[in-house]
């Protein structure tokens, strides 16, 4: 029999690959519950304490699902629409031009105007043309020439001031779209993204322990996994591989990566969407999140990205042969996998160490947050452990269901 979560995770701790982990999984009624902690975290003082379910985690890109919910709440309230032109709200975004190359001598970027408006749906599905500077070589070169990394924290609109990587709506690339979506939310509500997340996501579910970087509440800092001698400023270095400083350079609330929250609270969000209980969004809105929102042109770009060198990251544990698209909040499976994800499963992760999924067909959702060991983060081990979680939690759920039938 293949090793399960417990054996694999304990072995990784013994080998010094991870310091600890938290897993939370459940079904709609909450009758199946798998809440498990492994290992320990290190306090700023150097003291080691056992990992707890309510330890505060750096969510990294798992923030994107939370920002998506807040954006969809704005759609329900009539403040935004999925397909509306964002020019009046974010002219600094919609005025961006598309980079197509550089001049022969390599000094001057070649730019062309955007041919259609950027919409909220494009931002939520990574089809707007904005990109991370490490996912597109032209953007990387532009940043090296005109916007080299600095130490001064900057807001979204300054941190991501570079051109578009492709014409809006015509391709797909994992992006800073959710950071821009967070900025759009702030502008139409007149409140910070953090205040909107608290009102739209946390309050309805009784969540009180969420805060965007920097985490300043002392009651949260005392449970902060990423506040330790190797990360004394709680940047979340381990989660993003040890060398990244995305939080250090961020000013304000970044909807693509900046939220901190315990796994025991994040699972409440996943379960609410799994149950479609109306606490966060209207049932029709939630149903729409689980639909594929990629058009034909964008899908070509998405499929190319899935098979690119970065493809394993974009596939989040799903085989290349399994058909997937992109919903609102994450990748969505367009067919079921025997013994695993059902059709319409929504899933994504955060940094190198976090994975989550919502499988409405099989009535299961879960989150796994690993605590990588610094300074040398073993990416391969992290991928193996995340996949162990994704697969073995289904075996545990199946065993539980079988046991219920014999009771």
- Residue count (the chain): 407
Q: Which residue among the candidates 8, 17, 36, 61 is catalytic per the annotation?
A: 61
Which of 18, 23, 30 lies closest to 264 in space, CA to CA? 23
- Cα dihedral value 317, 270, 301, 173, nearest 10: -100
Q: Which residue among the candidates 64, 73, 183, 388 is catalytic per the annotation?
A: 64
Residue 214: asked if its preceding bond is cis (omega within 30°), the reply is yes
Report the phi/psi class of residue 375: left, alpha or beta, with left for phi > 0 and alpha for psi in -120 to 50.
alpha
Q: Which residue among the candidates 34, 132, 162, 174 is catalytic per the annotation?
A: 174
Alpha-carbon 260 to chain mean position? 12
Task: Please count the CA atoms within 13 angstroms of the CA of 288 that sit on its side-chain side.
Answer: 15
Active site residue 174: yes
Please list the residues that pair with 292 across neighbouring strands.
Answer: none
Active site residue 61: yes
Beta strands in 43-186 (DSSP E): 48-50, 56-58, 98-102, 109-112
Task: Please count the CA atoms within 13 angstroms of the CA of 91 that sit on its side-chain side.
Answer: 1
Beta strands in 62-105 (DSSP E): 98-102
- Cα dihedral value 210, 212, 213, 219, nearest 10: -30
Residues with catalytic function: 61, 64, 174
């Amino acid at each position: 029999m293949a090793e399960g979560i417990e054996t694999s995770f304990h072995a990784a701790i013994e080998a010094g690959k991870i310091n600890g982990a938290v897993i939370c999984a459940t079904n709609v009624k909450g009758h199946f519950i798998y809440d498990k902690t492994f290992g320990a975290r290190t306090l700023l003082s150097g003291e080691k304490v056992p990992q707890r379910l309510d330890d505060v985690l750096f969510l990294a890109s798992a923030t994107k699902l939370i920002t998506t919910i807040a954006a969809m709440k704005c759609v329900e309230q009539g403040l935004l629409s999925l397909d509306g032109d964002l020019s009046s709200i974010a002219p600094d975004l919609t005025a961006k031009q598309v980079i197509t190359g550089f001049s022969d001598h390599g000094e001057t970027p070649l730019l062309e105007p955007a041919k259609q408006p950027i919409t909220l749906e494009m931002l939520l599905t990574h089809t707007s043309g904005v990109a991370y500077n490490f996912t597109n070589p032209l953007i990387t070169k532009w940043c090296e020439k005109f916007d080299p990394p600095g130490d001064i924290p900057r807001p979204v609109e300054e941190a991501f001031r570079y051109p578009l990587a492709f014409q809006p709506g015509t391709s797909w690339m994992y992006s800073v779209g959710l950071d821009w979506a967070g900025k759009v939310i702030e502008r139409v509500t007149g409140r910070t993204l953090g205040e909107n997340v608290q009102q739209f996501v946390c309050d309805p579910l009784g969540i009180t322990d969420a805060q965007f970087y920097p985490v300043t509440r002392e009651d949260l800092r005392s449970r902060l996994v990423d506040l330790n001698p190797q990360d004394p400023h709680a940047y979340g270095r381990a989660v993003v591989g040890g060398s990244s400083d995305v939080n250090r350079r961020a000013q304000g609330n970044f909807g693509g990566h900046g939220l901190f929250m315990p796994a025991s609270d994040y699972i409440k969000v996943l379960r609410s969407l799994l149950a479609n209980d109306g606490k966060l969004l209207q049932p029709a809105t939630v149903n729409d999140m689980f639909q594929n929102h990629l058009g034909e042109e964008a899908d070509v770009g998405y499929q190319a990205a899935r098979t690119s060198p970065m493809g394993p990251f974009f596939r989040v544990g799903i085989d290349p042969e399994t058909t997937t698209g992109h919903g609102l909040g994450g990748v969505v499976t367009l067919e079921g996998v025997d013994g695993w994800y059902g059709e319409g499963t929504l899933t994504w992760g955060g940094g190198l160490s976090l994975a989550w999924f919502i499988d409405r067909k099989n009535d299961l959702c879960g989150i796994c947050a690993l605590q990588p060991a610094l300074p040398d983060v073993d990416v391969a081990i992290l991928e193996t452990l995340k996949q162990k979680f994704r697969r073995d939690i289904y075996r545990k759920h199946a065993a539980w269901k079988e046991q219920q039938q014999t009771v």
